[in-house]
Amino acid sequence: SNPQSSIVEPSHSIRNLYTLKHLKNMEVIQEKLKVLRTKLDSIPILQKAEDTTKVPKEYLVLVVGTLLSIIVFFGIGAGSLCSITGFVYPAFKSFNAIESKMKGDDQQWLIYWVVFGFFSVIETFSDFLLYWIPFYYAFKLAFLLWMMLPQTMGARFLYETFLKNLLKKNESSIDAALKDASKTANNVGTNAAAAATEEVKKDK
C-alpha cells in the first residue's frame, strides 16, 4: 500500500469533521438569531432602525449590546452612561407622571429621586471606592436599573426598608442644617455683591 495515501486519508477525514462541526455551529447560531429576531419584532423602533441602516435588527442589538458591555466593564465612558441612564428615563417617566391624572406613579418617581439623591451624595464622598471595586460601573448600572424599572421597583424597596425611617429620625437635624446652609449662602452672596460694588466704585 501507498504510505502517502494512509497519511492523506486521516487528514482529509479530520477536515471533513471540522467542516461538519462548523456547519452545525453555524446552524445553531442562525437558529438563535431567528429566535432573537422574533422577540425583537415587538419593538417598533428597532424595525425603523433596520429600515434606515439596512442592517438586520438582531445584528444591531448584538453590536450595541457588545459596545455597551465594553463601555461598562472597561470603564470607557461608563460614568457618563450611568449618569444618563439614572437621569434620562426617570426624568421622562416623571414628566409622564406629572401630566397624568393618576397619583400612584407620582409617588413612585418622587421616591426614586429621593433614593437617587441619597446615593448620589454618598457616592460624592466615596470616590476612592472607584479604585478598589472591580467593575464598579457595571454594578452601578445594574443598581440603577433595579431601582427604576417597574418590574423590580428597587427604589421603593430601599425607601420603605430603611431610608424613610432614617430621614424621619433626622428630619429636624436636616432642616436645621439646610437653614444654616441657606443663611451661609445668603451671607456669602451679600458679601460678594458688596465687594463687587466697592470695586466698581473704586474703578470710577
Contact 171, 163 (CB under 8 A): no
What's the N-to-C CA distance of the chain in angstroms?
113
CA distance 175 to 172: 5
Estimate to the nearest angstrom the gap between the alpha carbon of 69 and the chain centroid: 11
79-112 tens-digit pLDDT: 777 888 888 888 988 888 888 877 777 888 899 9
Read off the pLDDT band of 184 (50, 70, 90): confident
Q: Which residue has the higher pLDDT, 62 or 204?
A: 62
Q: pTM of the prediction?
A: 0.57
DSSP assignment string, 80-140: HHHHHHHHHHHHHHHHHHHHSS-SHHHHHHHHHHHHHHHHHHHHHT-GGGGGTSTTHHHHH
CA distance 189 to 179: 15
Amino acid at 169: K
Among 164, 141, 165, residue whose Cα is nearest residue 78: 141
Read off the pLDDT band of 203 (50, 70, 90): low
